[in-house]
Amino acid sequence: MFAKILKYNVFSKSKSELMNYISNFNKVNIVSGNPEILYRGLKDDLLFQVYTDPYSVIIPDGIGTVIASKIVKDPVKEKIAGIEVMEAVIQECEKNGKSIYLLGAKEEVLKECTINLISKYPKLKIAGSHNGYFDLEHCDDIIQDIQEKKPYALFVAMGCPKQEMFIYKHFNALPCSIFMGVGGSFDVFSGKVNRAPKWMIDFGMEWLYRVIKEPFRIRRLAIIPKFLLFVILNKSRKNYK
């Protein structure tokens, strides 16, 4: 069920199998394991601890992670995009009358995201929301709000490592069953950013579309070859962290 990539256990089955798997947890943190996220974890002990926690499930979000699984000869079945998992959770929540909480992004993006989600999923319960512009060390009001509203799923869209740190720090204190750092997903749901055409997604070229639309991302692409080189150099070694 998991592929061993470096010291990470990456979910290796399909998205539908993932949804069945996470339903067995009382509390779970879904980590979108693209090369940038995983490489950061190799350089940051706290992030590494978050990603390898027993309650964390890393999904292969990125063609680079899929390639890495092939390099170590433990291939995953498919790429699982974090935004697609987020939407699958939302669909389950609407179907079963469970609520979600949206945390992160700019206020205007958050509002449009909320409007569009309710439009697409009319029966969805959005228990609450808050933008991502707050001090992680002084956010008792937000914690209290989430505790009082008891959402089933908490989506945190503040980018790495801020969203991971928030989840790590408050995982035990919050009553949510599903925690998920979702990066720029609110931007997509708000309509501010579009995903790549389906054919590009299917061919593992979504990264190219995003770079064309947002050229500043090209610097971040340099992490992919670094990550893959690290996988190649360490695939037969047991002690490298």
Mean pLDDT of 193-220: 74
| pLDDT tier for residue 124 given thresholds of 50, 70 and 90 | very high
pLDDT of residue 219: 74
CA atoms within 13 A on the CB side of 117: 29
Asked whether the predicted pLDDT for residue 235 surpasses 90, the reply is no
Tens digit of each residue's pLDDT (9 = 90 or more) over 44-64: 999 999 999 999 999 999 899
For 2-234, CATH number?
3.40.50.2300
Asked whether the predicted pLDDT for residue 236 surpasses 70, the reply is no
pLDDT of residue 160: 93
Surface-to-core class of residue 134, CB atoms within 10 Å of its CB (0-12 exposed, 13-18 middle, 19+ buried): middle
pLDDT of residue 239: 47
pLDDT of residue 222: 79
Mean pLDDT of 149-172: 97
Residue-range domain boundaries for the chain: 2-234
* CA distance linking residue 35 with residue 79, whole number of Å: 12
Q: Give percent of the chain with pLDDT exceeding 70.
A: 94
Asked whether the predicted pLDDT for residue 241 surpasses 60, the reply is no
Q: Which residues pair with 125 in a beta bridge?
A: 99
CA angle 2, 195, 153 (to 5 degrees): 55
Count other C-beta atoms under 10 Å from residue 144's C-beta: 10
SS3 content of the chain, % helix, strand, coil (to 5): 50, 15, 35
DSSP 80: -
Mean pLDDT of 234-240: 63
pLDDT of residue 223: 87
Asked whether the predicted pLDDT for residue 206 surpasses 90, the reply is no
pLDDT of residue 115: 98
Cβ neighbors of 99 (< 8 A, separation 6 or more) are: 93, 125, 126, 127, 149, 150, 151, 152, 153
Tens digit of each residue's pLDDT (9 = 90 or more) over 67-120: 999 999 999 999 999 999 999 999 999 999 999 999 999 999 999 999 999 999
Asked whether the predicted pLDDT for residue 212 surpasses 80, the reply is no
Terminal Cα distance for the chain, rounded: 23
